[in-house]
Amino acid sequence: MSSVSSVIRASGALLVRGGRVVDPSQGIDDEVDVLIGDDGRVERLSGSIQVGEGVEVLDAAGLVVCPGLLDLHVHLREPGQEYKETIESGSRAAAAGGFTTVACMANTVPVNDCRSVTEHIVRAAQRCGLARVLPVGAISKGLRGEELAEMGDLVSAGVVAFSDDGRPVEHAELMRRALLYARHFGLPVVQHAQDMTVTGDGAMHEGPSSTRLGVPGVPRLAEDLMVARDLLLAEETGGRYHVQHLSSGRSVELIREAKARGVAVTCEVTPHHLLLTDRDVEESGLDPNFKMNPPLRESADRDALLAGLLDGTIDFIASDHAPHHVDEKLLDFVASPFGIVGLETTVSLLLDRLVHAGKIELGEMIRLLTSAPAKAFGLELGSLRPGAPGDVTLLDLEREVTVDPARFQSKSRNTPFAGWRLRGAPVVTVLAGRPIRVEPRPER
Amino acid sequence: MAKSGWQRKDLLGIAELERTEIEAVLATAASFHEVATRPIKKVPTLRGKTVLNLFFEPSTRTRSSFEIAEKRMSADAINFSTAGSSLSKGESLLDTTRNLQAMSPDVLVIRHAHPRVPHQLAARLDTSVVNAGDGAHEHPTQALLDAFTILQHREQLDGLRVAILGDIEHSRVVRSNVLLLRKMGASVVIGGPYTMMPRSAEALGVDVAYSIDEALEGADVVMMLRVQTERQSRMSIPSADEYFALFGLDRARLRRANEGALVLHPGPINRGVEIASDVADGRASLILEQVSSGVAVRMAVLYLLAGGAS
């Protein structure tokens, strides 16, 4: 297990009182209080804990209290593209969205392929102290896919995984060596699985909608080919392999089969791939806020992703929060960059469209955002077990919200969910015993 | 001339049009067709109107056809070619829109390499917009001129069997034609090599054939598409010669179509690649008529969008 608790300093004891605690890591769903000690770690959970003066009390009556949520796939754009997002604005977005931990990808400028960049990220995150920001180091120098980054040095600087996200590792031998070398550190090799020779200049899913629109397509096959290859490499090397943002139903099958054979593979899915399809792209009239990579696919894929989530093939949910400046999304669909923001919409989308819609239990949704991602990346987070870091998220299952990009704490506004009315929202997060109150920006 | 059956600000695609609107354009084009036969080929219909031809992608034929149509109607035609300039890359649609609005043109004719760019500009502009081709999406005036040309030789489109052959995947001509021909009651088969067919070809709602001979069987009209020998097609076909041997339209193949079948091609043709010279220059060929029809149809469209009221 990587130790991540040193990142954040505690600030005194905290009692979270009167809420419904849902902690899948311990099988708890009960009205109990949570006491977090001076050291910023969970001291105990029990009914009606009495505390003396000097212990801050957070009233959770009517709310769900769960381990702090994790989003292990975000882009914070710092260093280098601070006009899209910074570690501070991204941390604020995380806190506003109910997340206490995020893992930020290495495709910054410069790339997080060396200690100095990792250290910058860690220090900047500590300075704002609104969320745990876990850097993901590059697999290859400069994300060029040619030679390995200094993985050992990156680990000692604090990275929790390796990924060239955004630039799939095409070279099979480099990928094989990355899986082997990463075994020294016990960290996962995280792949944006997409064969770029098959992708070409594709801008949306290759299917009926792209055919009608004449938009260059990205076939499912681009993902399936890379997943299939990598699963063979993972099996051969014994390395830990993680597939990002699954979009293809066929890839879910490939991973299901590989898990059954005992391959050390984990994978994630985004809320948008669970909720939208290429028909939504077509019906939007090619709104650039519906453009992301991998693209939204067909309803059969969307259903296969949900089935994979329910049967445990897919390990957890992550947003692939990918901020782009509003000017960049003013271009037309084909010209605009791939990616949408997700930190401030994920929780409400999942509560409304999956939990309240009866597709998934509340405890299961919380597991997919807490202990499940923590386990996949080997992090000592996502649990309210005594001794665990005192990170908590409070949810109001009934609060009605309307997605309003103007109120995002993120610097970017690129979401396809603008105007969606959703029931259920995050209220406040607690980081190592310290309440973090970041509300959406006031309405203008 | 009364503008019956037309209320729209823009002509963006065939997808948006009702059958009656298609008929309105074709009827209007018939009356403009005669202008080309006059010694002085000019009418004052659009005098004082400004038409901006905004081509974000290189085009000689379509642009010239629009320009001739505009000039024959006495409009002030201004060409604004931006292919390859910084504008085609970095400038946002919003900036483009604002720039255009500031010049207050009456009609914008837009070609762009990306789907739905004209639609997005039209939604933000009071000015009328004509889509002159948006990526591989639509090319409505081409489909209208093809229909107009066929109707010079056939009573109606209803009941005709039309084969459209070639690089279906990258063709805007095929998408607009399929939409128009279906709305007008024709039956359509698309055909070409597997490597030039979209994966979800059935989504276009027509018959699909992977053999030219099969597609030609029973066809009343044959539309050949231009093969882009220069582009990514090197991954799709081994050579122009092989394409011609397997998928090109020659006299022998044409005999599989119905007696007296019409041959169309949006141009420019590649002789000996998608079409044999003796077919292109033969009696069945309407290729040059299409070019004349193009001017008449574009005059009609401009008239319906900007003529009449001042």
Reported as a single tens digit per residue, the pLDDT across B126-150 is 999 999 999 999 999 999 999 999 9
Cis amide leading into A294 (omega within 30): yes
CB count within 10 Å of CB A439 equals 11
- The count of CB pairs under 8 A between chains A and B is 69
Cβ contact A211–B138 (<8 Å) = no
Q: What pLDDT is stored for residue B81 in this prediction?
A: 75
Contact flag B93-A331 (C-beta cutoff 8 Å): yes
Residue of B nearest to A202 (CA): B114
Of the partner residues B113, B138, B204, the one whose CB lies closest to the CB of residue A211: B204
Q: What is the ipTM of this complex?
A: 0.92
DSSP state of B60: S
Inspect the interface and report whether the beta carbons of B201 and A334 lie closer than 8 Å: no
Residue A280 catalytic? Answer: no
pLDDT at A10: 59
Query: Any idea what DSSP says for residue A387?
Result: T
pTM: 0.94
Say if B1 falls within a structural domain: no
Alpha-carbon distance values, B239 to B125, B235, B243, B274 (Å) = 45, 10, 6, 12
- What does the pLDDT read at residue A8? 57
Tell me whether residues A327 and B92 touch, CB distance under 8 A. yes
What pLDDT sits at residue A1? 45
Q: Which among B142, B273, B285, B171 is positioned nearest to B221, based on CA atoms?
A: B285
Pairing of strands A14-17, A56-59: parallel
Residues contacting residue B74 through CB under 8 Å, at least 6 positions apart: B42, B43, B44, B45, B46, B47
Instruction: List Cβ neighbours of B82 (8 Å cut-off, separation of 6 or more).
Output: B54, B55, B56, B88
Please report, in angstroms and rounded to a whole number, the separation of the first and last CA atoms in chain A.
Answer: 45
| Per-residue pLDDT reduced to its tens digit, A99-146 | 999 999 999 999 999 999 999 999 999 999 999 999 999 999 999 999
What SS3 state is found at A359?
coil
> Measured between alpha carbons, how far is residue A107 from residues A124, A162, A165, B107 in Å?
17, 11, 7, 44
Chain B residues with CB-CB distance to A327 below 8 A:
92
Residue B144 domain flag: no
Identify all chain B residues contacting A331, using CB atoms and an 8 Å cutoff.
92-93
For A157-189, what is each residue's pLDDT tens digit? Answer: 999 999 999 999 999 999 999 999 999 999 999
> What is the domain-level CATH number for residue B182?
3.40.50.1370
CA distance A113 to A102: 18
Which positions in chain A touch B204 (Cβ < 8 Å)?
211-212
pLDDT in tens, B75-129: 999 988 775 544 445 567 778 777 888 889 999 999 999 999 999 999 989 999 9
| Separation in Å, CA of A173 to nearest CA in chain B | 26
Distance CA B260, CA B9 (A): 39
Do residues A282 and A212 make contact, with C-beta atoms less than 8 angstroms apart?
yes
Examine the domain organization and report whether B235 and B274 are in the same domain: yes
Question: What is the model's pLDDT at position A297?
Answer: 98
Q: Return the higher-pLDDT residue of B41 and B5.
A: B41
Residue A164 and residue A170 in contact, taking contact as beta carbons nearer than 8 Å: no
Are B247 and B300 contained in the same domain? no
Pair (B278, B170) in one structural domain: yes
Considering chain A, what is the average pLDDT of its residues? 96
Q: Which two tokens stand for residue A127?
A: 């300075």
CA distances from A171 to A164, A188, A224, B78, B170 (A): 12, 18, 16, 51, 30
Which chain B residue has the Cα nearest residue A328? B92
Domain of residue B52 covers: 19-138+291-306
Pick the catalytic residue from A320, A352, A391, A396. A320
- A67: helix, coil or strand? strand
Tally helices (H) and strands (E) across chain B.
12, 9
Q: Under an 8 A CB cutoff, do A206 and B119 touch?
A: no
Statement to judge: residues B194 and B111 lie in one domain: no
In a domain, B146, yes or no: no
* Beta strand extents in A24-118 (DSSP E only): 28-31, 33-36, 42-46, 56-59, 64-67, 69-74, 99-104
pLDDT tens per residue, range B256-282: 999 999 999 999 999 999 999 999 999
Q: Is residue A140 a contact partner of residue A111, using CB atoms and an 8 Å limit?
A: no
Domain identity same for B35 and B54: yes
Chain A residues closer than 8 Å to B122 by CB: none
Please give the backbone phi and psi of residue B77, each rounded to the nearest 5 degrees, phi first: -100, 130
Of A219, A232, A174, A167, residue with least CA distance to A193: A167
Nearest-angstrom CA–CA distance, B39 and B68: 15
Q: Are B225 and B182 part of one and the same domain?
A: yes
Chain A 192-211, residues with CB within 8 Å of chain B CB atoms: 200, 206-211
Cβ–Cβ of A210/B117 closer than 8 Å?
Answer: no
Give yes or no: residues B104 and B196 share one domain: no
Tokens linked to A291: 């453009």
d(CA A155, CA A264): 20
Model confidence pLDDT, tens digit, residues B222-246: 999 999 766 555 688 888 999 999 9
The answer to whether position B167 is within a domain reads yes
**Number of folded domains in chain B?**
2
Answer yes or no: do A214 and B138 touch at CB < 8 A. yes
Closest chain A residue to B175, measured at CA: A212
Average pLDDT over residues A151-160: 98
Residue B178 belongs to some domain of the structure:
yes
Question: Within the 241-300 window of chain A, which residues sit less than 8 Å (CB to CB) from chain B?
Answer: 285-286
A-proximal residues of B, 233-252, CB under 8 Å: none
Nearest CA in chain A to B94: A330
Answer whether B111's CB lies under 8 Å from B57's CB. Answer: yes
pLDDT of B195 > 70? The answer is yes
Q: What are phi and psi of B257, to 5 degrees?
A: -75, 175
User: In angstroms, rounded to a whole number, what is the distance separating the alpha carbons of residues B116 and A282?
Assistant: 11
Tens of pLDDT, residue by residue over A349-386, are 999 999 999 999 999 999 999 999 999 999 999 999 99
According to DSSP, residue A25 is labeled T
Q: Do B165 and B218 reside in the same domain of the chain?
A: yes
Q: Identify whether residues B281 and B174 lie together within a single domain.
A: yes
Question: Could you give the CA distance from residue A240 to residue A179 in angstroms, rounded to a whole number?
Answer: 7
Answer yes or no: is B3 within a domain.
no
Q: What's the confidence (pLDDT) of residue B99?
A: 83
According to the model, what pLDDT value does residue A3 have? 47
Residue A2: its pLDDT value, please? 47
| Residue among A204, A210, A212, A281 with most chain B CBs within 10 A, to mutate | A212
Q: Is residue B73 part of a domain?
A: yes
Per-residue pLDDT tens over the stretch A74-84:
999 999 999 99
How many helices (H) and strands (E) would you count in chain A? 14, 20
Interface test with A, best of B200, B202, B206, B235 (most A CBs within 10 A): B200
Contact A212 B116 (CB under 8 A): no
Structure confidence at residue B83 (pLDDT): 57
Across the interface, whether the CB atoms of B114 and A334 are under 8 A apart is answered yes
Do B120 and B85 lie in one domain? The reply is yes
Q: 3-state class of A76 per DSSP?
A: coil
CB-CB under 8 Å, B93 with A215? no
pLDDT at A9: 56
Upper half-sphere CA count for residue A437 (Cβ side, 13 Å):
1
Cα A129 to Cα A430: distance, rounded to the nearest angstrom:
11
B136 CA: distance to closest CA in chain A (Å): 4
Nearest residue on chain A to B113, judged by CA atoms?
Answer: A334
Task: Look at residue B11 and tell me if it is in a domain.
Answer: no
* Structure tokens that stand for A91 in this block: 């941390």
* Partner-chain residue, chosen from A211, A332, A333, that has the shortest CB–CB distance to B198: A211
- Cβ–Cβ below 8 Å for A330 and B94: yes
* ∠ Cα A252 A256 A260 (to 5°): 170
Cβ atoms A429, A100 nearer than 8 A: yes
Q: How far is residue B21's CA from residue B304's CA, in Å, rounded to a whole number?
A: 10
What's the whole-number mean pLDDT along residues B244-249?
96
CA distance B171 to chain A (A): 8
Contact A334 B135 (CB under 8 A): yes
Claim to verify: residue B99 and residue B180 sit in the same structural domain = no
> Is the distance from CB of A28 to CB of A361 less than 8 angstroms?
no
Report yes or no: B139 at the A interface, CB cutoff 8 Å. Answer: no
Integer Cα distance of A114 and A117 in angstroms: 6
Query: Does A88 score more than 60 pLDDT?
Result: yes
User: What pLDDT, on a 0 to 100 scale, did the predictor assign at position A361?
Assistant: 98
Strand duo B76-81 + B107-112: pairing: unpaired
The answer, for B114 touching chain A at a CB cutoff of 8 Å, is: yes
Terminal Cα-to-Cα distance of chain B (whole angstroms): 15
Same domain, B165 and B261: yes
Q: What is the pLDDT of residues A302-328, one digit of tens each?
A: 999 999 999 999 999 999 999 999 988
